[in-house]
Amino acid sequence: MKSVLIVTTENIPGKKYEVIGEVFGMTTQSKNLIRNLGAGLKNIVGGEIKDYTKMLEESRRVAVERLRKNAAKMGADAVVMMRFDSGAIGQDMQSVAAYGTAVKFSEPEN
């Protein structure tokens, strides 16, 4: 699979491209019961809930990799304006979507 460039900017310096269309990658994850209990205790005393931070970091990584694969299937060279969206599903599940605009370079790379 070819590498697809992903940027959060609208333009890629030195590149001209044609828009292919919207593209996204998403995942939904949850933690197990033991970790949920630990997070509940941390909620009482305060502070960072490291298991949830780790889960969100992993969710973002998975969502971006799925975005990259979906863009490659569309024949894209890059994804511009990449953004994240996330939301809770129930009390212990988190959904993360990475989305942007798939583009194809209109001139050969230098």
Q: Lowest-pLDDT range, 4-8, 29-33, 39-43, 91-95?
A: 39-43
Distance CA 61, CA 68 (A): 11
78-89 vs 17-30, strand pairing mode: unpaired
pTM: 0.81
Digit-coded pLDDT (tens) for 94-108: 899 999 999 999 966
Residue 20 has pLDDT above 80, yes or no: yes
First to last CA, the chain: 21
Rounded mean pLDDT, 35-41: 54
pLDDT of residue 40: 56
Above 80 in pLDDT, residue 36?
A: no
User: Does 32 have pLDDT greater than 90?
Assistant: no
- Residue ranges and CATH numbers for the domains of the chain are 5-105 (3.30.110.70)
pLDDT of 12 strictly over 60 = yes
| Phi, psi angle pair for 26, to nearest 5° | -145, 160
21 token code pair: 């269309």
Residue written as token pair 């050969």: 108
